[in-house]
Amino acid sequence: MSQRSCLSIVLAAGEGTRMKSSLPKVLHQIAGLPMVAHVVKAAELAGSGDQALVIGHGAEEMRKAATKFAPDAETFVQDKRLGTAHAVLAAREAIARGYDDVLVMFGDTPLIDPGALTVARLKLAEGASVAVIGFRTPNPTGYGRLIEKGGRLVAIREEKDCSEEEKNITFCNGGLMAIDGSKALGLLDAVGNANAKGEYYLTDIVEIATGEGLEVVATEASFENALGINNRAELAQAEGIWQARRRHEVMLSGVTLISPETVFFSHDTEIGADTLVEPNVWFGPGVKIATGAKIHAFSHIEGATIASNCDVGPFARLRPGADLKQKAKVGNFCEVKQAVVEEGAKVNHLTYIGDARVGAGANIGAGTITCNYDGYSKFFTDIGEGAFVGSNSSLVAPITIGKGGYIASGSVITEDVPEDALAFGRARQKTIPGKGKELRERFASAAAKKKAAATDH
């Protein structure tokens, strides 16, 4: 297989009107990645060296998005929607370069398994000219049926054209296929449009190839592989299936999910063995977690790196650029953004750390914030090793707290603090004996007069 060249053609020109969205349908996301990107990724894992995206609606937006998930892919525009074979031929220039295999895929089938594509390619390597990927279902109503004779696929029949006997067939067309690259253009050019819609159907190449004496076969995959997304409800269904697959993989890799159905991963989440994840945790894109970490309930994490044996949450938010070193702690109702929390440092309660470094072994008291933004620019806070920041302190950046520095609770710190120094940044307390009683009596009298005046009126 590795010696066979392969072009994958991903059809992504549909308008997706049932999505009720200005965003092209195939750019709607599953696990933080556009569904068409899932398809491209599957093709790459199946050994496809080159990709061609056939686009239409939102062409410029599609091109822009493709630079991120398929930077080397060529894009071809289908100006008129005249059927699936017509869409594939939009990439005629790419097909004509000559490939051993051509995979035809749909950008709205994000759950395709690379293994299913590999099996179809193997059939081409064994001599088939066309390999169609199908699925079995006990309720085939609405799907095209795969008509086989003697172990060969002879036709794909739409339900409205099926005989009563053919309607009982439960082997259905998944829409995905692999075509011998040397025969692809000939088969596609032979497709006509003598049908009610006047469109060119890709499925017709099965009968065309059979008529030419070429070998056509069907391979079987699960229904999920062919699940197409047409509306938001189906998008949510696909998300659920993807998440269930990923949770299963993660648990088999040695991660404990206490309540798996409440944990959500992104397409690129990396999580090490012996990590414990409590209920209701969401991982956004770009998260890397080493071994032995504990992620407590209701935490929201994206773009963060968490080293081994760290402790996060509950109710923690790690934003992009958060970098927790070994045995660091970010506790409940804390937010960390674009900051390094060094080994063994603790950010325990009700705290915001942004654009900062918290040195090894430092302790950040409850209610502390780094004041990193003046409305125009961001500034850096450097907290040294072993420093202690008392509760309810504001550190006004740019500022440095030296190694072993001690910040008294309730301080507003605006100047650098040297190593091992103690810094106060608060008004001196003044206590006046008896003044509290005097104030209560004054306020009570004023309230009574106000109430009496209102009653008189």
* Active-site residue (options: 267, 296, 349, 457): 349
Q: What radius of gyration do the chain's Cα atoms show? A: 31
Residue 104, classified by CB atoms within 10 Å of its CB into exposed (0-12), middle (13-18) or buried (19+), is buried
Separation between Cα atoms, residue 235 and residue 402, nearest integer Å: 52
* Look-up of token digits 């309230």: 447
Instruction: Tell me which amino acid residue 129 is.
Output: S
349 among known catalytic residues: yes
Helix count and strand count (H, E) for the chain: 10, 35
Pairing of strands 171-180, 216-220: unpaired
Picking from 416, 320, 404, 335, the residue whose alpha carbon sits closest to that of residue 369 is 335
206 CB-near residues (< 8 Å, 6+ apart):
130, 132, 153, 154, 155, 156, 216
Instruction: Tell me which amino acid residue 231 is.
Output: N
Picking from 398, 23, 254, 418, the residue whose alpha carbon sits closest to that of residue 407 is 418
Picking from 221, 236, 224, 243, the residue whose alpha carbon sits closest to that of residue 117 is 221
* Look-up of token digits 């773009």: 303
Partners of residue 106 on adjacent β-strands: 11
Residue 4, classified by CB atoms within 10 Å of its CB into exposed (0-12), middle (13-18) or buried (19+), is middle
Rounded (10°) CA dihedral 220, 66, 267, 311: 170
Q: Residue 398: is the preceding peptide bond cis (ω within 30°)?
A: yes
Helix (H, G, I), strand (E, B) or coil at 428: coil
Q: How large is the angle between the packed helices 35-45 and 114-125, nearest 10 degrees?
A: 40
* Look-up of token digits 């008004």: 427
Write out the catalytic residue numbers.
349
